[in-house]
Structures are given as C-alpha cells and as structure tokens.
C-alpha cells in the first residue's frame, strides 16, 4: 500500500507536468488531491498496525538494496502531522501559484518532496531513509530557488549544508553497515548501542558523524544561519514547509538513533561519564540546544525582515526541542515531540499569514508595512493566535508543550537549562509582539489603502490552523495519547493524563479549566465594557492635529508608524558581543574558491587534460580495489 502510494505519486507528478500553462491551478489541485490521499491512507492504516512492506529494487554483489517500509508509532505520528500541514499549505498554494509564472517543474519537485516525506518517516532501513533524505534535499533545492537571482545565494547555503550533512550521515551509516551487514534500523540501533560498550572510539565517530547531520539540518549552533537565508528567500508558501516540516527531519532521525542509546546508557551508567544522571554527551547536546535558542532569539529581535524573524524563531524553537529531548526525562521527551508538532502548526500559521500579507503587498520589510489588521482581519487573527501559541501563552496549544518541557527540565533538576529556556521564551514574546505591531497594528500607510483580504480559498487553511491551535490547547489529550504510544515503543514511562488533566511530578494542569478561566475573565471584561458608556469611533490622525486637516501639517500616517529599530537601545547592549557567523562562512567560501582557482589554473581549461585526469584516477581506484 505504501509503495503503491509512492508509485502513484510519481505517476501523478509526471501527469501534472503535461497540464497546460493556462490551467496552472489544475496542477496544484492534483497535488492537493494526492496529499489528501496520503493523509487519508495514513489515518486509515492507524498507528498500532504492524504493517510491513518490501520492494526489491536491485541487488548487486550481496548488497541488498530493497526498499523496506514499516509503520512505527513515531513515524506514523510524524507522517500524520506533516501530511496534514502539507495539505493545508497546498490549498494555500493553489491560489498563490495560479497567476505565478513559475516553471511547471516546481510542482514536480513539490510532488517529489511529499513522496519523500512519506517515504522517509515510514522507512524501515537506513538505505531507504537515505534515498528519501537525499530526494528531499535535492527537490527542496529547486523549489527554494526557481530561477530567481535573489534566492540563488541563499539556496547555495542550504545546499552546501545539506551536502555536508548527507556526507557525514552516509559515512556513519556505512560504518554501521560494516558491523551489522544489514540496513535494518532496529538492528543498527542495537549495534550502535553495543558499539558504545565495546569500542567507544568507533562509536563516538559514528555518533559525531550522525549528530553533525542533525546539527546542520536542524540549524543548531554554529549552523544557525542557513534558515534565515533559505527560509527568507524561498517562495512564501514553501517557507512554511521549510520551517514547519523540513527542519524536523534531522530531529526525527536523531530520535531514532540517540534516544535509545542515551536511555540505555542512563539505565546502565557503568563506564560512562554522567552529569546530573544523564550521559555527558547528552548533556552537551542539551546545552547546545539552549545556546542555539538564546542566540537565535537575539538575532530574531534584531531582524527587520519578517520572514527572517520567523526563520530565527524556528531556530530558537528547535533549540527548546533539542534541550527538552536530551534532558531524557519522560516529560522532556514527550514535551519535545509535542512541541515539534505544535511548532509545526503555529509556524505554518505564521508563515502562511506572512505569505498572505506579502501576496497583497509584495513587501517583507516590517517597517514599511503596518495596519494590515484593519484590512485583513482573518490573517491578523491567524497571526495573533499563532504568536500567542508560539510565546507559550495559555490557553493555546504552545503552552501545553512548553509546560511539559519545563516539567521535564525542572523535575530532572536542570536549573540553568531552565533559565536559558525562560530567557529565550521571554525574548520570543518580544520579537513576536514586534512582528504583530509592525505588520498588523500601528498606522496603515497610504499606499496600502486598497489592500483587501486574501481570497477565500487561501483563508480556509488559516481557519483550520486556528481551529487546530485552539482545540489542541483545550484538549491536548488527543495528541498526548498518540505521544504516549511513541513513549511505550521506547520503553519510557507514559505521561499520566486523565481526560484533560495532565499530572507531572511537580504539579498538574487541567487545560479545560485554564481555558474556562480565561473565557470567564473575558466575559467579565466584556460585561464591564458594556456597562461603560458607549465609545465613539475616531480616525487616528484626528486626535493629533486637534481636529484640523492633517494634510496642512504634512502629516502622513507612515510618519506615525513606530517600527524601525523597535528595540534599538536594547540591541545596542549587545554591540560588543556581536560576531558575524555569516562572515565566517563567507571567509571559508573565499578560501575554497582560492583553492579551486589554483586547480583551475593547473588544468588550464583543456578538456583533454581533464579526461586524462579522470581516467588516471579511475584506474587508480580500480587498482586500489584489486589490491584490497
């Protein structure tokens, strides 16, 4: 069934290539339909099934290269929410790309992406995982930069980081394969654990090569700059996929490999260095998450481009998730998985509302916008709920997972990690409010007087996302029960949840009551509002000029929009700490160019020389192989 699904996806993707340009939207409708099919199948298969499927691709020299798929609780959960969010994004894309003069290949690459998404999460062996991993990397490369000059440089950052990531991942996989002789994930994970007991040096090499891939793909420090480049320059609807979903792949793979390993070490800590009852390596990873979240938070506070701000916010959230995951308590791991899902939901909402604003205004610099809420109320409400959720404020979905993260960190006694999360969380409130104010509130510039709300088809995903954010916030038990089955598959104690009441070692919350408390208070406020004398509606500029014509004073609304350098003096506090990571990578790029230039001179551009070099190296490789 899974192979059939992927196969039909490929057929549909080729069919969509033949749609004529005049009926561009048809192509995207086919795409949405396919994602809906995937979603439907994912739900019907169910999380508890022990479904298994094999497809013999080819087998050379004892190398069994077959595609194996298996449904695990974790893979199923990730497939479910990524497919759901991809579906919502695809509905948004129908209208967005209708009049876009984009290459039809973009749609093709989106297809490849969604096929690989399903394949990656349901893969049962490392070979399958790696194939789909690479397909995602390549297809997203072409989607980010559909022939635009502006995004070409950004996409190169993304591509080079992806290549580094796959290179290390491949070497790690190959070392594991050498030991086990099979690509099966379960066997390799067991071998990985035993490797840590028998030959720690080898194991550490594998671990580092796998973890570098995770660091790169999930944009942890010091690789935290590529999202700000790639997410910001990608097409607007694709940014939400990049930020909400693609950044999670590294996390998925890390959960697969490292959580069993660290839990094993935590249980049998002989011969291992332990800090605070968790392995030292895990502790370092948790700290790198915390450092990432703090750095990304301050970078987000400084950025003036709304897509960059959202991209840095993604990096900060990946930091929280990493910290919680490697604190290795059941609440930490569950909170990390829950926050992954919640982050995907609210970040999709943030990026879609940004895309909606950009669709109408073609502007991403925040200080040039303003007052969009008065023209686009649905987009505004989506953004508002998304930032409430992102800041972890009750009663929306973000707070449940953040609360769980805090319970995990506090109950396993990590004071300074908790403090780091507190700091970046408060910082999150700062930059999110700044985005809300600069884009949606304040003064509406005169040039945007005729802006309208986006078409209804674009609003549909926003309504669904708002519904998801509110309902998961009130009834988190539906998601937590799914996460509990993931925890069971890793032999971790479940989250104690009874209806909507979650019990942690430190306290308990009932999210329905939290919601009711807020609703009750709002009703009280509304009654007070009705009791007070009715208000009068006045145009903003009228109050500044005491009723005279603002034009007489050369006053425009833009002059009154305070958005540029919103936290200026606060940013100046960090002037002496500022280091330019981008400049660091650029200098590496210049060095590599220099070396490349040396080789270019050496070859002197003749094709014959190149061919000779190639043949010589080929012969050398064969001799090497033969000697071995």
- Give the binding range for other proteins (CB under 8 A) out of 33-41, 165-173, 202-210, 398-406: 398-406
CB of 405 closer than 8 Å to CB of 319:
no
Cis ω on the peptide bond leading into residue 462 (within 30° of 0)?
no
Choose between 362 and 535: whose C-beta lies nearer to other proteins: 535
Residues 165-189 as b or e (16 or more Cβ within 10 Å = b):
bbebbbbbbebbbebbebbbbebbb
Choose between 128 and 500: whose C-beta lies nearer to other proteins: 500
CB of 169 closer than 8 Å to CB of 137:
no
Choose between 202 and 411: whose C-beta lies nearer to other proteins: 411
Q: How far is the CB of 557 from other proteins (least distance, A)?
A: 8
- Give the binding range for other proteins (CB under 8 A) out of 127-135, 150-158, 525-533, 614-622: 525-533
Choose between 457 and 497: whose C-beta lies nearer to other proteins: 497
Identify residues 185-204 at the interface with other proteins (CB under 8 A): none
Choose between 3 and 527: whose C-beta lies nearer to other proteins: 527
Q: How far is the CB of 442 from other proteins (least distance, A)?
A: 6
Tally the residues of the chain. Answer: 628
Q: Which backbone phi and psi does 491 adopt, to 5 degrees?
A: 60, 35
Identify residues 419-478 at the interface with other proteins (CB under 8 A): 419, 422-423, 426-427, 429-430, 433-434, 436-437, 441-443
Give which of 171, 47, 145 is closest to 488, Cα–Cα. Answer: 47
Give me the helices (H) in 18-149, please: 24-45, 73-96, 104-122, 126-144
Identify residues 536-575 at the interface with other proteins (CB under 8 A): 536-540, 543-544, 557, 560-563, 566-567, 569-570, 572-573
Q: Are strands 501-503 and 508-510 parallel, antiparallel or unpaired?
A: antiparallel
Choose between 42 and 407: whose C-beta lies nearer to other proteins: 407
CB of 452 closer than 8 Å to CB of 360:
yes
Applying CB under 8 A, does 415 fall inside the site for other proteins? yes
Q: How far is the CB of 218 from other proteins (least distance, A)?
A: 25
Q: How far is the CB of 367 from other proteins (least distance, A)?
A: 12
Identify residues 564-623 at the interface with other proteins (CB under 8 A): 566-567, 569-570, 572-573
Applying CB under 8 A, does 269 fall inside the site for other proteins? no
Give which of 452, 277, 257, 441 is closest to 361, Cα–Cα. Answer: 452
Applying CB under 8 A, does 514 fall inside the site for other proteins? yes
Applying CB under 8 A, does 373 fall inside the site for other proteins? yes
Choose between 91 and 441: whose C-beta lies nearer to other proteins: 441
Q: How far is the CB of 483 from other proteins (least distance, A)?
A: 19
Choose between 527 and 621: whose C-beta lies nearer to other proteins: 527
Q: Is the C-alpha dihedral spanning 288, 290, 293, 298 positive or negative?
A: negative
CA 167/CA 217 separation, integer angstroms: 12
Tell which one of 40, 167, 456, 522 touches other proteins (CB under 8 A): 522
Identify residues 487-506 at the interface with other proteins (CB under 8 A): 501, 505-506
Tell which one of 388, 465, 469, 483 touches other proteins (CB under 8 A): 388
- Give the binding range for other proteins (CB under 8 A) out of 58-66, 226-234, 516-524, 590-598: 516-524
Give me the helices (H) in 181-305, please: 185-198, 200-217, 226-233, 236-244, 249-267, 280-302
Q: How far is the CB of 372 from other proteins (least distance, A)?
A: 11
CA 544/CA 546 separation, integer angstroms: 6
Q: Is the C-alpha dihedral spanning 400, 405, 411, 415 positive or negative?
A: negative
Choose between 93 and 412: whose C-beta lies nearer to other proteins: 412
Give which of 73, 68, 49 is closest to 57, Cα–Cα. Answer: 68
Tell which one of 406, 474, 500, 585 touches other proteins (CB under 8 A): 406
Applying CB under 8 A, does 524 fall inside the site for other proteins? yes
Q: In the structure encoding, which two tokens stand for residue 440, read together?
A: 């949606």
**Rounded to 5°, angle at Cα 304 from 303 and 305:** 95
Q: How far is the CB of 506 from other proteins (least distance, A)?
A: 4
Choose between 578 and 582: whose C-beta lies nearer to other proteins: 578
Choose between 85 and 391: whose C-beta lies nearer to other proteins: 391
Greatest alpha-carbon span in the chain: 94
415-435 helix and 306-325 helix, angle to the nearest 10 degrees = 160
- Give the binding range for other proteins (CB under 8 A) out of 52-60, 165-173, 219-227, 524-532: 524-532
Choose between 10 and 517: whose C-beta lies nearer to other proteins: 517
CA 605/CA 609 separation, integer angstroms: 8
Choose between 13 and 424: whose C-beta lies nearer to other proteins: 424
Choose between 114 and 451: whose C-beta lies nearer to other proteins: 451
Q: Which backbone phi and psi does 276 adopt, to 5 degrees?
A: 55, 40
Identify residues 52-111 at the interface with other proteins (CB under 8 A): none
Q: Which residues contact 232 (CB under 8 A, 6 or more apart)?
A: 154, 239, 305, 307, 308, 311, 364
Q: How far is the CB of 479 from other proteins (least distance, A)?
A: 19
CB of 5 closer than 8 Å to CB of 41:
yes
Identify residues 159-178 at the interface with other proteins (CB under 8 A): none
Q: Which backbone phi and psi does 502 adopt, to 5 degrees?
A: -100, 130
Radius of gyration (Cα) for the chain, nearest Å?
26
Choose between 137 and 371: whose C-beta lies nearer to other proteins: 371
Q: How far is the CB of 183 from other proteins (least distance, A)?
A: 43
Applying CB under 8 A, does 531 fall inside the site for other proteins? yes
Number of chain positions touching other proteins (CB under 8 A): 75
Q: How far is the CB of 472 from other proteins (least distance, A)?
A: 16
Q: How far is the CB of 208 from other proteins (least distance, A)?
A: 31
Q: Scanning the structure block, which residue is given the tokens 């196969």?
A: 7
Tell which one of 141, 272, 510, 555 touches other proteins (CB under 8 A): 510
Applying CB under 8 A, does 380 fall inside the site for other proteins? yes
- Residue 13 backbone class (left: φ over 0; alpha: ψ -120 to 50; beta: rest): alpha
CA 321/CA 150 separation, integer angstroms: 31
Count of beta carbons in the 10 Å neighbourhood of residue 567: 14
Choose between 308 and 561: whose C-beta lies nearer to other proteins: 561
Q: How far is CA 227 from each of CA 156, 173, 370, 425, 577, rounded to the nearest angstrom?
A: 12, 26, 25, 19, 22
Tell which one of 252, 333, 402, 466 touches other proteins (CB under 8 A): 402
- Give the binding range for other proteins (CB under 8 A) out of 321-329, 346-354, 370-378, 483-491: 370-378
């Amino acid at each position: 069934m899974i192979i059939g699904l992927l196969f039909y996806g490929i057929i549909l993707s080729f069919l969509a290539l033949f749609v004529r340009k005049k009926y561009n939207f048809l192509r995207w409708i086919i795409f949405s339909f396919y994602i809906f099919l995937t979603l439907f199948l994912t739900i019907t298969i169910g999380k508890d099934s022990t479904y298994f499927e094999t497809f013999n691709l080819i087998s050379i020299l004892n190398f069994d290269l077959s595609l194996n798929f298996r449904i695990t609780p974790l893979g199923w959960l990730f497939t479910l929410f990524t497919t759901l969010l991809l579906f919502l994004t695809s509905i948004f894309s129908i209208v967005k790309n209708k009049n876009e003069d984009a290459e039809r290949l973009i749609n093709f690459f989106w297809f490849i992406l969604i096929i690989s998404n399903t394949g990656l999460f349901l893969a049962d062996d490392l070979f399958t995982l790696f194939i789909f991993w690479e397909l995602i990397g390549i297809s997203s490369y072409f989607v980010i930069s559909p022939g635009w000059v502006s995004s070409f440089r950004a996409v190169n950052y993304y591509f080079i980081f992806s290549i580094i990531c796959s290179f290390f991942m491949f070497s790690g996989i190959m070392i594991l394969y050498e030991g086990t002789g099979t690509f099966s994930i379960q066997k390799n994970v067991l071998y990985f654990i035993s490797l840590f007991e028998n030959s720690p040096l080898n194991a550490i090499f594998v671990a580092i090569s796998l973890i570098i891939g995770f660091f790169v793909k999930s944009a942890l420090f010091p690789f935290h700059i590529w999202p700000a480049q790639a997410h910001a320059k990608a097409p607007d609807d694709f940014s939400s996929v990049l930020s909400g979903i693609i950044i999670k792949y590294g996390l998925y793979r890390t959960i697969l490999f490292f959580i069993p390993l660290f839990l094993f070490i935590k249980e049998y800590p002989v011969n291992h260095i332990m800090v605070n009852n968790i392995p030292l390596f895990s502790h370092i990873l948790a700290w790198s998450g915390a450092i990432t979240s703090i750095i990304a938070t301050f970078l987000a506070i400084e950025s003036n481009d709304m897509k960059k701000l959202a991209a840095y916010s993604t990096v900060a959230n990946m930091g929280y998730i990493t910290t919680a995951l490697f604190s290795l308590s059941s609440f930490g791991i569950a909170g990390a998985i829950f926050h992954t899902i919640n982050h995907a939901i609210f970040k999709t909402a943030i990026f879609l509302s940004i895309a909606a604003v950009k669709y109408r205004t073609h502007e991403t610099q925040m200080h040039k916008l303003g007052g969009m809420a008065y023209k686009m109320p649905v987009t505004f409400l989506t953004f508002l709920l998304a930032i409430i959720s992102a800041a972890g404020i009750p009663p929306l979905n973000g707070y449940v997972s953040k609360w769980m993260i805090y319970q995990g960190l506090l109950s396993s006694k990590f004071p300074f990690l908790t403090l780091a999360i507190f700091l970046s969380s408060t910082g999150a409130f700062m930059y999110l409010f700044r985005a809300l104010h600069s884009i949606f509130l304040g003064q509406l510039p005169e040039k945007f007087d005729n802006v309208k709300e986006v078409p209804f088809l674009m609003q549909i995903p926003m309504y669904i996302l708002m519904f998801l954010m509110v309902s998961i916030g009130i009834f988190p038990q539906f998601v937590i029960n799914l996460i509990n089955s993931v925890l069971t598959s890793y032999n971790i104690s479940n989250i104690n949840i009874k209806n909507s009441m979650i019990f942690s070692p430190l306290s308990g919350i009932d999210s329905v009551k939290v919601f009711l408390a807020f609703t009750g208070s709002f009703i009280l406020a509304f009654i007070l509002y009705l009791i007070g004398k009715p208000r009068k509606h006045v145009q903003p500029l009228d109050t500044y000029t005491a009723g005279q014509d603002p034009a007489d004073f050369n006053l425009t609304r833009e002059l009154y929009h305070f958005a540029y350098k919103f936290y200026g003096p606060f940013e100046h506090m960090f002037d002496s700490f500022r280091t330019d990571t981008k400049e660091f990578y650029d200098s590496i790029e210049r060095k590599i160019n220099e070396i490349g230039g040396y080789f270019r001179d050496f070859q002197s551009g003749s094709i014959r020389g190149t061919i000779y070099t190639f043949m010589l190296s080929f012969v050398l490789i064969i001799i090497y192989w033969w000697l071995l």
